[in-house]
Every structure is written in structure tokens, then in C-alpha cells.
Structure 1
Amino acid sequence: MDSGHYDLQTCTCSIRASTPVHAILRHYLSAYETPDLHRCDIDLTINTEETAVTEARKTLTRLSPSQVRTSHPNQRYHIWTTDGQQILTPERANDHVITVQGNHISLVAHQHQIAATVGVRIVRQLIMRAGETRHGQSVHAGAAILDTDGVLIAGHAGAGKTSVLTRLIEDHGARPVANDRTVLTPGDNVTWSAVGVPLAWRFTPQGIDGSTALTHALTIRDLSRGRDLVDGKIELTPLEISQALAVPAAAAAPITRLIILTRTANKQPPAPDHRFIRDHLDFGADDFFTDDWLGVRPLFPSLTAQPPLDADAWWARLATTVPVQVISWTDPTELGRVAATIAQGQP
């Protein structure tokens, strides 16, 4: 068992796991790795031991779960609260058990891949729940660093966020921070910070074809998530993106610009007021990621003296403190031009 230390930007975490599990985790968490930390907010221990999973589940069969929480579209957990700890078991599988006791989280799984997959989901929860204590929230946007500028790239599904981010990295030397989900946190009266939520990058075959580096990478590399299409898309891990495009990822960035992409022939979109911005960045009430299924939010006391903003005020503040540019396009051949416009800072 080896220990790794991670500055998740909204909190800190140590992970103790086997070498094979760490190798898989690194595909998603390499941007957050740090040599050492004086202290960690959360200690996560990951073991792979099928017998331990079986024995834990047998013990729980004598008790009734106190509640059920949804962690993923196809995953719900039964929750047992006993002896000052919460024990979580998946509803549709019997391959892992999670225990939360204070600031220590223990995960036991049947095998390495399951352990790492669930481990990454736990880390996502830590980033998002701790971000909320800083009055941040998840937004439907990617982020990159261009020179010293942090740029947030937003838009509805199909608006070209991933393709434009890839062009910014490949053609203009940007550093990736996030692909599709970003924790956006207000600082003082005018500043905002973006923290990446580690997720796979998803491309249509047409989107892959638009990148020379990714097309080449697919011919010479084995992909961690395989080559089969998932909902019509190829999935690459954040580490695979960094390796293919030869640019290290960053964990966070101060945001100085917000770009909203729209796929429409209307070259004069509405003025980007706070309602327009919210419509294009807010995941909405049905976002399953908002559920604190681990029950860890109470572990993170408020880290800011500023009173929380209500939803309308939060979006209004974003609209009035960050320059917003709306860029419209209709044909994928235009995405190179869109990326160049962003890189040059053109209105």
C-alpha cells in the first residue's frame, strides 16, 4: 500500500491504496497530485479484498438501512448508520462497501478497477461538496489557461465545448483544467476560481477527426476506457488527453473570461445577462451530482466569512464581474476559427 497526496483546491486528501489502484487513479487525479501535505482534510483508504466485502455485507443483512441515496444515474446506495459511522453498499451490485467515519473514508472492493472507479467518484464528491462551503457550485463548462488567463468555456450539450477546448490546447498552447464540469467559486468582490472535476473527455468520431494529435494517439495507444463508443462517443481520461496533446493539466485557474458557445445561425445572440448565462451554465435541479450521497458536506466547515448568495444573486454577480463573450457557429469546420477567436481575445 502506497500513499498519495492531493490538493483538490477546495480541500486536501490523502489516498492510501495499492500500486495498481494508484495507476488507475492517476489517469484522473494527476493534476491534483502534490509531493506532501502537512495535514489532510480527508484520509481515503482503498483496499481490494473480496472476502472483506462479503463479510461486511453479511453483517449488514441483520439491520435495516436508514436511507437510500443516488450517486450516479445507475447507482444508488443503501445507507446504514451504526457505531458513529455510515456504511454504504450499492443497491444493484455486491462488489464494494464504503465506510465514512469522521474524516476517514474506507473503500473495500472486489478488484482494482472497481476500487479505482469508485475512488474517483469519491474524490469528485470531495471537490464539489467542499467547494460548496466556499459558496461555489458546479457549472456546465470546461476551463483552460491561456497564457495567464483562465477561460471558462460554456454552452449547451452539442455546443462544441470539448472540440473548442481541444483546439485551444492543441493549436494555441492552453492548459486544460476541466472538460465538462467545473466548480466555480467566488473570491472577493470581483474574482472567481475554477476547479476541474475529474471526468473522462468524450468525443464524437467527427470530433476526434478534427484533432491531428488525438487521431494519431488513437492509432498508437491503448485507451484506458477502451475503444467502444459510449452513447456515440469515444472516451479518453484526463491523463490521456494531457499525454496526447503534450500539455500538463492544471487543477484550477482564476477565471478572467467567460465564453458561451451557441450552435445557431443567429450571429446576434441575446445580450448575455445573468438569465442567459444561467441558462447555459446551470445543470438544473435534476443534476444527480448535487446529492451529497457520501454525507461528507458537514466535514467541511464554511471556509469564507462572506454570507452565501442566493441563486439569483450568485448568477448576477457572475454576469457583472466576468467579461462574457457569446460566439455562434453552425458548421464543425468553423470550430478552428472559434478557438482562434478565443485565443486572440477578439470580441
Structure 2
Amino acid sequence: MAQEENSTGRNGLIGKIQEFNFNISDWTIYKARLDNYFEANNITGVKRRAIFLNMLDEDSYRLMFDQCSPVKPEQKSYEQLLEIFDKHFAPVHTPFAERIKFYESERGPEESPNEWVARVRRLAIQCEFDNHLETVLRDKFICGFGKGLVLDRLLEEKITIYLADAVKIANHKMAALSSFGCKNGQGQDGQQDENPVKQEVTQTTEASSASSELGCAARPLPDAIRDLVEQEINRLVDVGILTPVSFSEWATPVVPIIKKNGDIRLCADFKVTINPHIQVDQYPIPRIEDLFGRLQGREQFTKLELSQAYQQIAVDEPSKSS
């Protein structure tokens, strides 16, 4: 149990100071509290050293004893003892590593604007933003809000808004929304349903009215790849791309392609079954010259690599029978 100096009362001292345990206490915070305690009670001179050493638990005192060796801690001044612990507990910070933590942080779902801005300030302590600190704090405070009505309201402000004003606006907006039962200050467009419905893009395959069902017999597979094809079919079923059926109006033979890494890409030969009968959307493919013309003068580009690109878009229910 940690020992404490008494609060204002029997001995007339103001406040209290807990025993220092370096395993659970933050030295920087403890030192600031200790200085305030001494100042509030007008404690000076050697009494500061005696009280400080007395408030160290056994492990902390042993650490101080070892740091002072070959002399004893009692032979050092109070200021010298503080300097010893300052050097020992000084955290090693690299500004860029701290900035990564700063920029990757986001406001928690239950965090109020005041709590969020306090955490933003704390994360910025070791980032060395210098003269840009207030601007960076303001930007992080605003951008750290999730999508919703509070963020929408903050985005209406001019770029010259001060951090204190942004915090005030966020508090007022969240209070107004909470009065209408909006959880965490988010409106309907910002709430996340416990069972969200994923938005899916589906492709409709329309066959001409004159077409009739067409099935094509399965093609023989080499024994060397038969197991690989079976494994790939099972995998596609497991991930929900293929659905097993006992009967289909259409039947298309598979075309297994062996990739460079030895895996199987499972394709289908639709040109002998449904392709001649579908109604194709006539959309002109852009010319490469037109595309390069649009990219002229641009500086940032994005390249998207889609695994199994032809399986990224699902077909709707009526088309699944095709």
C-alpha cells in the first residue's frame, strides 16, 4: 500500500503526495506534483531532500542509492537527486516516430471534443512542431472526427478558424445532436449500424428472348491438374464466389489456366454458351491517346491491383441461373 503525506488537517500540511514507485508512476508527473507540494507547504532546504527520499519505495530508493554510489543519496542536494532521476527516466523520443502516432490517431467513439483535444495536445508534445503547433493541432482535431454531422459542421468553417473555436463548435454540435438522441454526436448519416448492409455492385446479364437454354458437356481434364482444379473450385465455393447447384439452365465448360507460381486460375469458356445470346451494352472504349491527354499535367496517380478481377463484381439473382 502506498504511503501518503496527510491532507490538510492534523499536521497542517496542504495536499498529499504518494509514494513513488517507478514501476507504476510517471517520473515527470510525480516530480511536478512534488514541487507543487513543497511550494504549497513552504518546505525548503534539506527537508525537501529528506521528504523526497522518504517518499521513495524500496525499489526506487535502491535505484537512487545505486545511482549515487559511491556516496549516499543523503550526501546529495535535492536538486542533484532530481537531476539523477531526470537522466535515468528521460524517455528517448524521435520526432518522426512521434509524428506517426500523432497523425494516425483518431477520435474514439466515446471521446468528447474536450477529451479528444487534450489527447491531441498530449500526442504532440514530442513532435517538435514548433511554430506550426497550433495549426497542426487544429487540423488534427478536425480531421480526427469520423464521418458525421459534427465533422460536416466543422468543415463549413474557414481555414483561419482557431483551435479553441473549433472545440467550442464541436461541443455545441454534439450537445445539440445528443438532445435529439443521436449517439456520440452523430446523425443518421454518421451512425454505424450494428448490422451494416454492405453496398454491392451487381451485374445483370440479359439474354435475348429468342435464345434457349444451352448446356455444354464438361471437357476432360489432365490427371496432373485435376486435384488442383477441385481445390480451386472448393476455394471459390468457400469464399462465396461460386454456389453449388444441382441443376442449371446453362452449363459452361471450365478452362483451367496454370499461373507462373503453379496455382490454378479457373476460367470459363462462355463463347460457346451464353456469349452469343446476351445483350451487350454498347459503350465505346476510350482510346489510349485520349486517356494520356487527360493525364497531362497531373502529378499524383493511383494504381489498383485487383486480385481475380473478373470475380470482383457479382451477378444479380436472376442472372445466376445463366
Do they fold alike, i.e. is TM over 0.5? no
TM-score scaled to structure 2, two decimals? 0.18
* Larger relative contact order (Cα-Cα within 8 Å, sequence gap ≥ 6): 1
Q: Which is richer in strand? A: 1
Q: Which is richer in helix? A: 2
